[in-house]
Structure 1
Amino acid sequence: MRLVQRAPELPCGPQRTPARRRRHRCRLAQHALAHAAAALLALALLAGLLPPTSANRASGHDCPHGNILDMPDTTDCRRLLSKLSGAGCLPHYHAAVIQEEPEEACCRNAASFFDLQCHCWGSQFDHAAVAAVAAVDAACLHHAEQRSAEQQQQGQQQGQGEAAAAVGGIALTRLRQGQAQHGQHEQHAQQHAAQQQQQQQHPDIRLFVGVLSAGDRRDRRDAIRATWGTHPGAYRVRFFLGRPANETVFEAVRAEAVERRDMVVLGHITEHYHNITHQTLEVMRFAAADPAVTHVLKTDDDSYVHFDRLLHCLAGTYRERLFLGYIENPGGRPHRNTDHPWYVSREEWPEERFPPWAHGAGYVLTADLAAELAPGTAFAASEGGHLFKLEDIALAGWLEWAAQRRGFKVHLVVDKRFNYEGCRFGDLVSHYMKPEQLRCMWERQGHCKC
């Protein structure tokens, strides 16, 4: 792979004329006002004038580090701002109107603004606009919490009134309530004990899980959310999607992203098999953006992750520069026959060999390797600045390129328990699993047929 040559820097332009100086001063004044508005919002948050909710995402701490070389089409983000303005929530793009009872449209579009990572594109939206949307989102979450508390209080009062009216059933009601509370307490205690046990066994492993998915696979995502995605060993689980070609499916994905808040939708990347490399790169960027992450697992939405065995495996191997999976080493040669289903042209991959690569059903990198890829290595290492269409080989190529130029060694650890052909008892990751099989594996602790 060849390094993409950097374009020469252009010489500075002529000195500004008086008219240009005035326009320049005007722009500086606008930026100063924008920064002042953002500072006021920050002071309000610190002073407790706004609730300390997830709307503080506008600070940008959840944005990927490094240079964003594949800048998205921000049409969706601008459309959300227009919707907020049309609903009366954001009349001037820089001034939020905090209503006593925010409209549903305001809350939905403000949440979508952050779920689509619009706040990460600083060159497109100034700080004041982002801060205004954050204020709307904070108000929505605050009022939602208030409504929930009021409904809970009303339910308690109603229950007390009914119990008082039905004097003869008081004892039975208390008995049932006691049984229900006992069951809930027991369930919470079991979950808490499992989390504590997991933390005691592997306290220094924080595994970020990036799951590649597609828009019409809600059933698979829900199955993961109900099964291995809830395992206490999963530090964080996120689904990464491209943009579905069908607008109806895309709207459903957007609604799901707002509801679940565990999805990253690349609105600028069309959903296609040859584009999943972009989703994989975004997994690495998100993981690298969180300093607490120690390991990154990339997997698919038809995979089952056996966390107990996987964490035990990670605890006994390299803690730095680790590339773990079912690795093909040597990596083989590209197929040059145009009739082959995995045909690769010389323009796409000029070399006559592939680097050692791991099958994409599941593989693990330590966080330091993810950080090597996040800032732009992927594009610099790619022929012509275009990401290679086969994501598992593309990632291996990025690692090899970075290791050669930065002078470090990648620890390749081959483990065939990353099963990319189905499932066997003892797997670390099982592949080609249907939603009902995921639930069976979870309920029966892996003792299910594929």
Structure 2
Amino acid sequence: MPGPRLTEFYSDLSIPRSVDVVVVGGGIIGVSTALELADRGVSVLLCEKGQIGAEQSSRNWGWVRLGMRDPREVPLMQASLDIWQDLDARLGRATGFTRSGILFGASGKRGAENLARWMRHVDGMETGARMIEGAEIGRLLPGHQLKTKAALHMPLDGRAEPQWASSAIAEGARDRGAQIVTACAVRSLDVEAGRLSGVYTERGRVACSQVVLAGGAWSRLFAGNADVALPQLRVLNTVLRTSSSPGGPECALRTDAFAIRKRADGGHTIASGHQNTVDIVPDSFRLARSFLPAFRQEWKSLRFRFSRRSLDELRQARCWQPGDVTPFEVTRILDPEPSQKHLRGAWSAARRALPVLERAEIVQSWAGLIDVMPDAIPVISAVRQLPGLWIATGFSGHGFGIGPGAGRLMAELVTGETPVVDPWEFRLSRFTDGSRIAPDPGY
């Protein structure tokens, strides 16, 4: 099943023999890191096994939100919003970013209390966050039939176009001297005397002193081949897009039943508000203890199943040599089947709540695999056991909006600059240093 239609991106034709930094992965995290490194005069090669932004970076909802984030992500998301605001002008290309606002609907009294409690995390910040009711909800969602009595309004949150953004950022990085090569997997790392000295790609070796692993849902597999433990699983989310629906809401909305945001083409992107699918695979058992707190907290929103992916991953190689064909070449782009149940549920709920959608049609649907961590916040960190290796992954469904900020933070860590935010919460070592690992219960 074909995924979303992407902005066409033309690869550089050759790879260099040597650069300062190799970025592995061409999703929004990888291209944002490449942009920030190139802006600092660092020579950088980005290698993408498939196409730029072809996996979850183009398959997400397109939300650029501070609202209802884990409080540990709030400072970095604030920095990311600042970047998004000027990004089109900086790149000379469109990402579709606009501050259209986002509404988070309350599910009963307890839901309203949870939304109001989350607002404490942005006290003193100029976010415009406030609880609204009745007529104010009606002004933002004309003609709505929602049963919710209250909602959190984040007027400075917004949206961008996932099918545009990664390519636009990649082109901006190339304008600044980065080399971007697609259909070229990085197979493994070259380590000499305990330190990185280069990478082996399917097109040959590239010497470098630093590598940033931004491989999204593939990061655990790549790290494991380098004997780096990364507790990461994949969760499937299903999305649909509609035909143009004049009069549809400008403001994005999330309820328990569905989430919706307007697209640049006049249609809307719609998904289930909370439901995701978890395939039971070999890593599910290997990482069961690490993910148990998250599963307990989120079990109502997760649908567990055995599927073809269970068998595929059982057969998948977990270690290989530089000359071997790797899983990254066997599967260039993850393109899973969407959940028809979640499609039907979200589409039905959206049309009941927003009658204006009755005139719209489903144009396309797709699914993507989200890279998730046990505590639902990313790793943006050095790997202590292997100097020169950095990891930026595990954004747990929050990566699109926070991507430009994460790229800046990663570039600052690599170059030794003062970081835009304290990276402590995102350290890889939190999984081995005795820290409490769980999603924040208050967001």
Length-normalised TM-score, structure 2:
0.23
Higher RCO (C-alpha 8 Å, min separation 6): 2
TM-score (norm 1): 0.23
The structure that has the greater radius of gyration is 1
